[in-house]
Structure 1
């Protein structure tokens, strides 16, 4: 009993430490609520005796007596040792240390110094891990043995499974003591499973601050993946277990960089398990140029990679939804597009058109295959023709750009998707950077031709982390499925995925990928100091947001005149009238304003509509649009943050949402240009309107703008043209359109989203041909008469309803929207749901006739 209390510390489930002597023989502890921490001496005895794992928590806590391992037994031969440094391995002391089990100390120099003597006194040969740049640290001189992990120290290196297990093998350790940066490995299943398979026991200190207090054995019930190889990260160079990478979507656990994925890895990571059926696995190769050695090189590529060609095609399911999928192989001739690649993709899209299936293609290519000359070039046209037919059938095509996507693939099917997604940091471009540099002799900016660059310039819809890609694709496909060709859905599909909740349930509790089934409960290798993959992904999203924000601010500054910059610093500006506006509803020259009659309902509404605490469009989207997926860019120039577009569910119905967004705080208001759209904002909205029409999806517009931005650059890029194109599109859009004015509705900039079947205003919103300041300045040459102008223009919601401009005035509740935002949002949601239900039953021809008649009467 005495020996037991010396060798173990019992820990209650509430974390209470029962020190030696705390448990007496006549008082049993609560066995089901106990754990055990080991003393170093007991760990050394068990290691020396090569015993199986020592008594578990229940047994140890319930022992009435304990028998020590005889010292004579504790002399079994340890493993061969290597990587010995320091004076302790001199000829006189080597034999003594060789007779003892080796404990590898994964600790900082300061911690290692504290532990060395205790570990040696307990009966271990202590081995200290180090890196070359720290090889002169004091603990190395005192340590009997040491093992080098690498050239340069990093926290991630000391928390890397491969580095630690390699060190274990080199020094012949049977015990690993995890401290400091290495502690996260105590929770990594793959590491613990591999260590266990090698007969190595892993311990962590009971207290990180007091490691000598006791040690807790780290175990896992997961088996080691025997076939799992080690793969080096192409970004940070550290190696990781295949199983850990698969469970983490082939994202580096340390630096967050992406591994390039093969087609089988994509299939296992994204598609429902056992759902993929390959099509056209083997297609006869050609050699149109009789290029010397080409066919031999193809054969060599097949031998080397185990792949047939640079693309794999087939059908499968994502969260239960049937989809045709093509996945390009960067391992095979760098994913170059030859005649076989074009043929396989052409057949895939043609099959999808005949079977009425959506198409998802993952691109990864260096471009056209030069060994096939013009025949390779023709594949761009061939696949485009197939996609045009698929598009005419009203079917969705989603393109996912991965690293790298360049050349002829970029200039054809990669950029022809209804929705274009990209992985973070993927190389995306037409001409290669070396070609550009050689051609124009110009240094290219940092981040040029990346996914982030493409997003900033409006060329793609969104950047999606791998961990979120399956869910994003499932929701996008479900949103399309909810409205596309209702008369002839694919068999069984509408019963599988018809709303947001069903998709979520299917993703969380229904179908699983092969990787989820195989590795889903495996704790993957993580970052030092407990940084989880969720945290890292959040950091990546914040980084992307910051990048986009910096670009938008930089871009806004290039289109802003000195007058605008000055007006912005004062709090606002009149986008179309050229006058400065109020801050928080108080005019800059309030003392000089005349006619501010309390009974002036229009002016009162102007002040409330401009209140900086008033909920913006994004607040309403967050309140009642389920599963909202924002889509960016005009596919030509940029992504205007003043216009937010995306897809989601309102009242169980799939919709396209287009909103003007002012920003909820000063930083956001500046980034979003105070809700005054640029031409690319209207062209983005036009693109989403056309997409909604293709899929029979109703459009919901949320209007809140002082007006379209006026400036030299906006004029150069066709501000008037962009608004005119929106009005023309809305006049002929063959799907229901519902618009709600939430705050300010200024001039043509607001009307560009308000030519709708149903138009409503919140009770404190305003709608006018221009700002009251601009009206007063132009007609009366006196902007201080703005309150009077507001009354004359009849800007208030109720006055607009009386004139027949809007159909309804929506109550904001007992107080303005900024005082009860939830009540205000519910009023908007209820109106939109009712309007969509009403309009959904109206045939498209009747919808158009009524919409045009509505505006013809003014």
Structure 2
């Protein structure tokens, strides 16, 4: 398990400076709002142990130069639990963030809601959710850091509800805390590592790297620009294909540059988003995240050349919506033979996932730039393409369906696949003539 630093020690770990916000005042009845016998004594002992008057410390500070509102939980104060006064402080912190246009960084270590305040404690989760939504609507980023432990309502609101979720290795993370989960439950399921593995958190970050990584994420998510992302230079073949089948052959060539090469050439530094927040990842089919291109932030969603799985489409939709809300332009790279069409993909909701990405792209107000860098296979590729601002590399194609499948649907023999490719008019120059794409990327 990672060390459980006190709230103020953790703030020193991640900030250049920190100024605490004045806590709101609240008159408390003896032993709290439901008269829980001994509650006042428990709070007094917690204050003596920790030096804190509540389970959160809220204020403003700079992380690698970027100013933010930080919310640090003190687990030593009644297990970092949420009560009415905790809710007061959280609401005041989010309100301050919106008033001053600052991102919010919850540094979470909590066991959940405070039993000594009963249902009034549980309803603080609704207050927190409301503040998070208002902050999201204001176009401000929220980056959560999961410390040990992050369980219960703190995980289900401040943690899992953040735009980006970073986790300390070895931290206990899960909705069910250790004392309430089933006795035969696999303890590995309630870890930061598992939450990253299933796409509920974005990255494991060791404490010694946290300030730098958090600082970079804050810079990326607070530097939006209205200008579209420039079209990347083509990295592969320069000449145009002579035939439709020649376009297919070149796009399928193993040596052709893929997404990682394009992203590496385009960005000086980047941070990946992982997972669709619904239990899935597509590490072999989709890359999503934010990076720095010539000094400004650009979001990216890039297919890698494999068949894209439902989790990949959902992750891309998550990326597009987040970038749109923060006013950050998006670059998408199309490269897939098509959507995964196996039985598991259907069970995972392939159609709904593709529809959701189509909707996210269609609704986006931030500019989206698309480059087809390889195979553009049917609707599984088109879902990632920007209407009116899609370009193609010379060694790519875009087709209503793969030529082999088109021939099969038309009941043509295999000997007519190449001719079918020509008929489909899938070469980059054909796509320009048809008005499907704006142009062909240069080198």
Question: Normalized against structure 2, the TM-score is what?
Answer: 0.91
Aligned to 1:267: 11
Q: Distance in 2 between the 1:602 and 1:466 partners? A: 53
**Number of the residue aligned with 1:461:** 202
Contact 1:394–1:485 (CA under 8 A) maintained in structure 2: no
Tell whether 2:126 aligns with 1:381: yes
Which has the larger Rg?
Answer: 1
**Structure 2 gap segments, 5+ residues each:** 228-240
Please show how residues 137-156 of structure 1 align to structure 2 within 5 Å. Answer: none
RMSD: 2.0
**Distance between the aligned counterparts of 1:701 and 1:799, measured in 2?**
21
Structure 2 equivalent of residue 679 of structure 1: 310
For 1:608 and 1:485, locate their aligned partners in 2 and report how far apart those are by CA, in whole Å: 35
Alignment of 1:714-729 (within 5 A): 714-729=345-360
Match status 1:345 vs 2:94: no
CA offsets, 1:774-815, max 9 Å, x none? 11222134234322221121221112122221111124xxxx
Tell me what 2:102 maps to.
357
For 2:163 and 2:216, locate their aligned partners in 1 and report how far apart those are by CA, in whole Å: 14
> Counterparts in 2 of 1:160-171, with a 5 A limit?
none
SS of 1:356's equivalent? Answer: coil
CA distances 1:53-98 after superposition (whole Å, capped 9, x unpaired): xxxxxxxxxxxxxxxxxxxxxxxxxxxxxxxxxxxxxxxxxxxxxx
Provide the secondary structure at the position in 2 that maps to 1:360. Answer: strand
- 1:401 matched to 2:150: no
Residue 637 of structure 1 pairs with residue 382 of structure 2: no
Show CA shifts across 1:562-607 (max 9, x none). xxxxxxxxxxxxxxxxxxxxxxxxxxxxxxxxxxxxx952212211
Q: Given the alignment, which residue of 193, 197, 218 partners 1:477?
A: 218
CA contact (8 A) 1:736 1:757 kept: no
2:303: which partner in 1?
Answer: 660
SS of the counterpart of 2:353? helix
Distance 2:36 2:434 in 1: 75
**Shift in Å, 1:485:** 9.9
Instruction: Report the Cα distance in structure 2 between the residues aligned to 1:466 and 1:299, rounded to whole angstroms.
Output: 31
- Report how many residues are paired: 426
**1:265–1:604: structure 2 CA closer, same or farther, 3 Å change rule?**
same
The 5 A counterparts of 1:216-365 are 258-272=2-16, 275-280=17-22, 283-284=25-26, 285=28, 287-365=32-110
The offset of 1:657, in angstroms, is 0.3
Q: CA deviation at 1:693?
A: 0.9
Aligned to 1:623: 265
**Per-residue deviation at 1:302?**
1.4
Correspondence for 1:810: 441
Tell me the distance in 2 between the aligned counterparts of 1:445 and 1:294: 34
Deviations 1:591-631 (A, max 9, x none): xxxxxxxx952212211211122221011111121221000
Contact conserved, 2:49 with 2:76, CA < 8 A, in 1?
no
Residues 142-189 of structure 1: CA deviation (Å, up to 9, x unaligned): xxxxxxxxxxxxxxxxxxxxxxxxxxxxxxxxxxxxxxxxxxxxxxxx
Unaligned runs of 5+ residues in structure 1 are: 1-256, 487-598, 663-674, 812-826, 828-858
- Off by >4 Å, runs of 4+ in structure 1: 281-286
- Kept in 1: contact 2:225–2:329 (CA 8 A): no
Q: Residue 447 in 1 paired to residue 188 in 2?
A: yes
**Could you tell me which residue of structure 1 aligns to residue 293 of structure 2?**
650
Deviation at 1:744, TM superposition (A): 0.4
Tell me the TM-score normalized by structure 1.
Answer: 0.48
The range that moved more, 790-799 or 359-368, is 790-799
The aligned residue for residue 237 of structure 2 is: none
CA contact (8 A) 2:226 2:328 kept: no
Q: Secondary structure at the match of 2:60?
A: strand
Measure the CA separation in 2 of the matches of 1:304 and 1:728: 52
What's the CA shift for 1:434?
4.7
Give, in angstroms, the shift of residue 770 of structure 1: 1.4
Q: Contact 1:282–1:308 (CA<8 Å) still a contact in 2?
A: no
Contact 2:226–2:367 (CA under 8 A) maintained in structure 1: no
SS in 1 for 2:369: strand
Q: Which structure has the highest helix share of the two?
A: 1
Alignment correspondent of 1:738: 369
User: Aligned runs of 1:503-522 on 2, under 5 Å?
Assistant: none
Residue 260 to residue 294, structure 1, CA distance change in 2 (3 Å)? same
> Following TM superposition, by how much is the alpha carbon of 1:483 offset from its aligned partner in structure 2, in angstroms?
1.6
Tell me: higher relative CO, structure 1 or 2? Use CA pairs within 8 A at least 6 residues apart: 2
TM-superposed CA distance for 1:449, in Å, is 1.4
Quote the offset at 1:716 in angstroms: 2.5
